[in-house]
Homo-oligomer: A and B are copies of this chain.
């Protein structure tokens, strides 16, 4: 066929161009003990031994970059179907001392309460509060800063929480999450009114009586995919 011949000519044309290693690196955020945390892996060998790194991996022949990221996340946390969003690519020729590696970075949001803790522990990984991060290899600090900014931007447009909190949560827990993300305090009353006005939370009949004397109702996200069908834009400063 003509078509096939054309395609093989195209393949021939491409041969003059260089190929590159392509990696994915994930900023994996979780929320625990009132803090926003980042999952990091210790580097056991030189160069940069003793520093920490984001979880990453190389893109294989038969997978897209997002598939590569999901594969890596499944291997390291045991979780499927996690929130994953493409962030910024880093491609300076000398960013990795081992070879020229182009890295596509992703932001992943994990519910710490349901991930595979044993799997994480085995690998020596550790959840670090984003306010006290250790030294990271290569340009990974820059990647994290970039991912955090993306997370903040996302949180200011959508109401996130489904991805980071347990199924049931109190409005104080949700507010504390937002305070951890934005590193600022929100007025409890105003936060409550704003969030409830969005009409995407459902109040349950159960109360949490541990974190307050009076007891606070649990809420959950309404079922039926909001965020896709809703045009609502939430503006948190």
A22 near B93 with CB under 8 A, answer: no
Interface string of A1-23 (1 = CB under 8 A from B): 01100110111011001111110
The contact sample of 10 A-B pairs, CB cut-off 8 A, is: A10-B97, A10-B98, A14-B21, A14-B58, A18-B59, A19-B22, A22-B22, A64-B92, A86-B88, A235-B235
Residues of the B chain whose Cβ atoms lie less than 8 Å from the Cβ of A230: none
Residues of the B chain whose Cβ atoms lie less than 8 Å from the Cβ of A9: 45-46
Residues of the B chain whose Cβ atoms lie less than 8 Å from the Cβ of A131: none
Interface locus among A100-108, A115-123, A185-193 = A100-108
B91 near A46 with CB under 8 A, answer: no
B91 near A64 with CB under 8 A, answer: yes
A101 to B7 alpha-carbon distance, docked (Å): 14
The smallest C-beta distance from A38 to any residue of chain B, in angstroms, reads: 22
A62 to B10 alpha-carbon distance, docked (Å): 24
B46 near A65 with CB under 8 A, answer: no
